[in-house]
Chains A and B, each alone.
Chain A
């Protein structure tokens, strides 16, 4: 009896989720848990950056540069947002993005970086050779649960890649 009840509950839940997905398709799917993408669109994208040349460089005057910084700037432009930089160490940025003070973190992160509990990595946007000959997959990070932002950034990076 209990298992039948459980099955029915799951089926009912599935039906309601499908309905909601259907209803929500016109708007945005997948959606963010905290609406990061919506907040950033036409506003500002809060990006944490830790210096890791040549991916990210931070000048003495706080000027942010590097290939990833340029990528993020053109992504922000694509959603009509301006970038608000926040420079810090990876460990500090990891805490801040987990707490929701940042939307994106860059800094030459790779798919084997240790911050998967605190941030959600994008799919690798490039594969490069490290100095010791291993192939390394370069990723950026978004706040976990912000899947609309993750998907939007990933689509942008995939698009860049094909050019």
Chain B
């Protein structure tokens, strides 16, 4: 058995353009943390007795979790593999993804349950006046303004984070960008609700929130599935979990077209930004096989893509039986 691994990469082993992307993502997430803190304080001050505004506040507090998880994880992945962590630390990304997905689901679930309860118990939200500098103003207007102003930054930041998520193959960034989006739709719902309450529609607030929460719960569930899948060694998928990663097919094709290779079965798991690749190969003829050819295959696979970092090639007399899957399960990439 030839082991071609040089250890899972640390952050420095990302190609230069991607390192820049990663640094940009880290800056974006610091900005997110700072702006969410300001927003949470601002919304907390004006929320008063409004239930919808309190929910919005909890949303803002919860959306601190994904960027925090991202920042911790992107710090951890810089470490090199050690005797105690031979695979390196890239799996921290998977853990952060789990945290982000759970936060998203909690946010959607809380919003849904809370608004359903106020619908069922017929809670009619009272919104009175505030006095600012001697002027009496309906508090609803203030809530609308705060919700509109505080959600400019999540929209902008979320847009940029979504753009970085694919090139970086970063699922935490993806979940967090989804959360930013969720944040602004829930803000919009709060605005609709408050304005509706002003029209005497006590149910407007809660109904708008239920509509929005459905989408957030859906995002939370799909991210949670994707995060758990990644951590339980599901085959590597694209950053948005839409399909098996296209590299899987290219790995198989590259190995299969080696003249000395008769049969190939590879398995690839997502370690974070990087993939951990194991390739079982059956040589056509024992005389064709050499350690050098194995090492060459490892290098060829590694140069396919920066994500393919830790590669193990295992030559065997026959493919392992438990790895024989019916071809229809191999979805076209």
Taking Cβ atoms with an 8 Å cutoff, the residues of A that contact B are: 2-3, 6-7, 9-11, 13-14, 17-18, 20-21, 24, 29-33, 35, 116, 120-123, 142, 144-145, 147-148, 150-151, 154-155, 158-159, 162
Contact = CB atoms under 8 A, between A and B. Distances in A.
A9 B211 contact: yes
Given A11-B188, A151-B129, A32 B200 contact: yes
Contacts of A121: 49, 126
A63 B208 CA distance: 47
Contact of A122 (B125, B128, B214): B128
A13 B211 CA distance: 11
A7 B129 contact: no
Interface of B: 49, 123-131, 134, 136, 138, 140, 181, 185, 188-189, 191-192, 195-202, 204, 208, 211-212, 214-215, 218-219
B174 to A, nearest CB: 14
A155 B135 CA distance: 10
Contacts of A35: 200
Contacts of B140: 30
Nearest to B196: A17
B138 A30 contact: yes
9 contacts: A10-B188, A17-B192, A30-B138, A31-B198, A31-B199, A121-B49, A147-B127, A158-B129, A162-B134
B214 A6 contact: yes
A contact face: mostly helix, strand, loop, or mixed: helix
Contact of B126 (A20, A21, A142, A155): A142
The 4 closest A-B pairs by CB, nearest first: A145-B124, A120-B126, A30-B198, A31-B200
B198 A155 contact: no
Contacts of B189: 10
Given A18-B195, A30-B197, A30-B199, A7 B185 contact: yes
A123 B134 contact: no
Contacts of A10: 185, 188-189, 192, 208, 211-212
A30 B200 contact: yes
Contacts of B200: 30-33, 35, 145, 147-148
Contacts of A9: 211
A123 B188 contact: no
Nearest to B48: A123
Contacts of B127: 30, 147, 150
A3 B126 contact: no
A145 B126 CA distance: 5
A29 B198 contact: yes
Contacts of A6: 185, 211-212, 214-215
A151 B142 CA distance: 14
Contacts of B185: 3, 6-7, 10
A150 B125 CA distance: 11
Contacts of A29: 138, 198-199
Name the residue among A10, A29, A122, A162 with the largest chain B CB count within 10 angstroms: A10
Given A6-B215, A14-B192, A158-B136, A147 B198 contact: yes
A57 B218 CA distance: 57
Contacts of B201: 33
Contact of A2 (B195, B198, B218): B218
Name the residue among A123, A147, A154 with the largest chain B CB count within 10 angstroms: A147
Given A10-B185, A17-B196, 12 more contacts: A3-B215, A10-B192, A14-B188, A30-B138, A30-B198, A30-B200, A35-B200, A144-B125, A150-B126, A151-B128, A154-B128, A162-B134
B50 to A, nearest CB: 11
A17 B49 CA distance: 22
A150 B199 CA distance: 14
A134 B31 CA distance: 42
B215 A17 contact: no
Contacts of A148: 200
